[in-house]
């Protein structure tokens, strides 16, 4: 396992989302925990087999299991530290089971998430159609005003393979970028594409959504401080954000 990452498993949801939440800005670190300024919890949803676990492991450990990973039962999670907007950020990556019998368990995690990714596989049209179901679940169980939402097309490496295997066969061809972008516009959410196998787009996906969440937390902290003075501190925070914008892995 690479530096700055760790893993755990909450099979069947044992432990609950409240037990994996970080200290947040201004709160003390837990004993043995690496120092950080912010915590960002990213929940990944989608049908079974779309590569949710593979995306998480590729980002957290830079690994890809050629034969596929064991199907998630309940919720699994990894931790990865990054630098974002000049702050050290602890990312908690929550991978959920796609099977229907686990949906009630995973719903308990929606409200504690700062970001939720709805994932489909570009070679699986059923998982693409099911994105509407996952986005409806987010609307029902998460605060759309608080959580950052994105749609993700995974397994884009299969497009290149299909060029030779299914040339001229539109029905068997993987979904295009335009297909995903059009659906994301219909739901008014950002769209990302990635390949857990080749790592293409994976870092951009996680760092991009983490950046949105950290900026929100900085803005929320600034608004909270405005009620108790601290203008000098707020100016310093804004200046730091301007000088050290963007997110990078450690």
Least confident of 6-15, 104-113, 175-184: 6-15
Taking CA atoms, 48 is separated from 21, 103, 129, 161, 183, in Å, by 25, 12, 14, 22, 20
Structural element, H or E, at residue 104: helix 103-107
pTM higher than the cut 0.85: no
What are the phi and psi torsion angles at 163 (to 5°)? -55, -35
**In terms of Cα–Cα distance, which of 88, 83, 4, 13 is closest to 43?**
13
Taking only the tens place, the pLDDT of each residue in 107-140 is 778 888 999 999 999 999 999 999 999 999 999 9
| CA angle centred on 214, ends 213 and 219, rounded to 5° | 100
> What is the model's pLDDT at position 31?
56
> What is the model's pLDDT at position 223?
81
pLDDT at 27 exceeding the cut of 80: no
Looking at CATH, the fold of the domain delimited by 5-249 is given as Rossmann fold (3.40.50)
Confidence band for 210, pLDDT divided at 50, 70 and 90: very high
Helix (H, G, I), strand (E, B) or coil at 203: helix
In the predicted model, what is the mean pLDDT of residues 242-249?
66
> What is the model's pLDDT at position 197?
95
Confidence band for 247, pLDDT divided at 50, 70 and 90: confident
99 vs 176: which has the higher pLDDT:
176
pLDDT at 98 exceeding the cut of 90: no
Mean pLDDT of the chain: 79
Per-domain residue ranges of the chain: 5-249
């Amino acid at each position: 396992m690479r530096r700055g990452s760790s893993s755990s498993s909450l099979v069947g949801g044992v432990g609950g989302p409240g037990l994996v939440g970080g200290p947040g800005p201004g709160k003390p670190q837990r004993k043995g925990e690496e120092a950080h300024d912010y915590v960002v919890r990213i929940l990944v949803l989608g049908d079974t087999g779309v590569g949710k676990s593979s995306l998480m492991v590729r980002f957290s450990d830079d690994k890809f299991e050629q034969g596929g990973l064991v199907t998630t039962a309940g919720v699994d999670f990894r931790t990865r530290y990054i630098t974002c907007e000049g702050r050290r950020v602890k990312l908690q990556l929550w991978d959920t089971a796609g099977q229907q019998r686990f949906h009630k368990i995973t719903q308990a995690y929606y409200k504690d998430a700062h970001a939720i990714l709805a994932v489909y596989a570009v070679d699986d049209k059923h998982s693409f159609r099911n994105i509407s179901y996952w986005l409806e679940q987010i609307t029902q169980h998460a605060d759309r005003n608080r959580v950052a939402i994105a749609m993700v097309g995974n397994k884009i490496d299969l497009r290149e393979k299909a060029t030779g295997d299914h040339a001229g066969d539109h029905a068997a061809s993987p979904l295009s970028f335009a297909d995903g972008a059009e659906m994301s516009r219909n739901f008014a959410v950002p769209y990302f594409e990635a390949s857990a196998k080749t790592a293409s787009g994976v870092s951009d996906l996680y760092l991009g959504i983490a950046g949105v969440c950290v900026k929100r937390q900085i803005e929320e902290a600034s608004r909270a401080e405005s009620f108790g003075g601290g203008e000098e501190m707020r100016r310093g925070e804004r200046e730091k954000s301007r000088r050290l914008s963007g997110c990078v892995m450690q």
